[in-house]
Structure formats: structure tokens, C-alpha cells
Amino acid sequence: MFRDKMIYTAAALGLMAAAPAARAGLTIDVRVHGASGAATKEVVAALGDVVNLDVYGVVSGANGSVADEAMQSFTGSFASTPTAGGAAIGNFSTFLAAFPFNAATTIGRPQDLNGLSGLDLGSGGTATDTTADYVFGRAGSIQTGNEFLLGTLSWTVTEVPGTGATSLNFLPRARNTAAIWNEDGTAKNPTTGTFQAGQAVAVAVPEPASAAVVGLGTLGLLSRRRSPRDALSRAG
């Protein structure tokens, strides 16, 4: 049965991170599904909550011409890292590549990449790892444009050992074949251009007192009806 779900932004609790300065290159940008503006980078979650995520490829050149930008492939991992006070621990779901970047894909290996518990997705970069250990997506041909939906995945909160924030982000693979894109009309790869992650999504776990205040509605909240594609849904 569907039920109303209260969703609060991390900005309301003072946990929003500053966006990094944009740089030329290919950026793999993780965003909260269904959100807009600053809300694509922040969400408050409790035990059992599921944060649905969209993954975008953004090509930035210097000449300002979208016709000169393009993308074909990417390779890397997804990891969660506590950034303040311990915060939440969780597991990533399987990455589902979007058309046309599903022409050739690998879903990555579920494992703890940073020793902090919880299942990340991909590889820690060991010498024996292959492309199959990473999350990989490739289109059948180069795709013209400067922003592309690459796929979706989710992150489920399995433990809440403290309060603070946990960052969810992409980790680019450090290899010349890890990505293919065009920048200002010139073919690029990670050795000839910049292959980078965007600003992380901050998953905040509020202090109990803050949660109570938010529950009273004094910080401003957004009420949404739960659905399979909500940016944040709660089991149960």
C-alpha cells in the first residue's frame, strides 16, 4: 500500500556541500532521481530508506559548441564514504545502463571498496582486475551532445552508526581505455583529457533533536507519495 513519505533536504539541516568548480573534460555526475537544482546533491535518509540515483555523463569543452562535444563510453566504480560523524552505511544496487550506453555493459563487482562496511560497486583498482570488475557502459557509436543519461542505480541504508553525512559518488577508472569522448571536436581519453567525478550526493542523517524539529514542520518539508521511482522511499 502506498503511504505518504516526508522528505527533507540536507540544506535545511545545514549539511549541503559546496559544488566544485567546473573543469573541461568528461564528468560522471551522480544525482538524486526526480530532484532538481541543489536537491540533486542532497537527501536525508534513515534506516531502511532507498536513495534512487541517476548517473549522467557531462562533456565540457572550451569553445561552447555542443556540436563539438560527444561521448561513447565510461568505466569506473560507485562508492559510499562517510564524510562527517560516521553517518549511514549502505549497499548499492545493480547499475542499469540506459540506451544507447547499454550496447556493451558490465555491472561491476559488489564489494566493500574502502573498508567501511556496506557494498560498493566496482573495483578498487588492483592490478588483476579487469573491465568486468568495473561498472562499464558503451554506446554502439559516438553520441553527439554534452549531457547524457548513462544509467540508474540505488543505495539502501543498512546501518546508522552515527549522525552526519555519507557521500555517494563515482570513481573513474585510471586507464587510457576507461572512457571515450570528444571535446571541442577532438577525440579524448583519460590520458589525453580529464576524466572525473562530479560533486557527490550527500546523504545526511540528522541529529535526533533536528529530526524532531523537522518533523514538526519548522524547517520546511516536502511531502511526496511513495512510488518505485521516488528519489527516496522507505521500506515497510
The C-alpha atoms of residue 145 and residue 109 are separated, in whole angstroms, by 30
Which letter, b or e, does each residue of 22-42 get, where b requires 16 or more Cβ atoms within 10 Å of its Cβ? Answer: eeebbbbbbbbbebeeebbbb
Given this model, what pLDDT does residue 23 score?
A: 74
Q: How confident is the model at residue 117 (pLDDT cuts 50, 70, 90)?
A: confident
- Is the pLDDT at 97 greater than 80, yes or no? yes
- Is the pLDDT at 195 greater than 70, yes or no? yes
Task: Give the right CATH number for 4-223 from 3.90.420.10, 2.60.40.680, 3.90.1010.10, 3.40.1160.10.
Answer: 2.60.40.680
Q: How confident is the model at residue 129 (pLDDT cuts 50, 70, 90)?
A: confident
Given this model, what pLDDT does residue 131 score?
A: 85
Given this model, what pLDDT does residue 220 score?
A: 35
Give this prediction's pTM. 0.81
Average pLDDT over every residue of 196-218: 67
Contact assessment for residue 81 and residue 167, using Cβ atoms and an 8 Å cutoff: yes
If one compares 9 and 188, the residue with the highest pLDDT of the two is 188
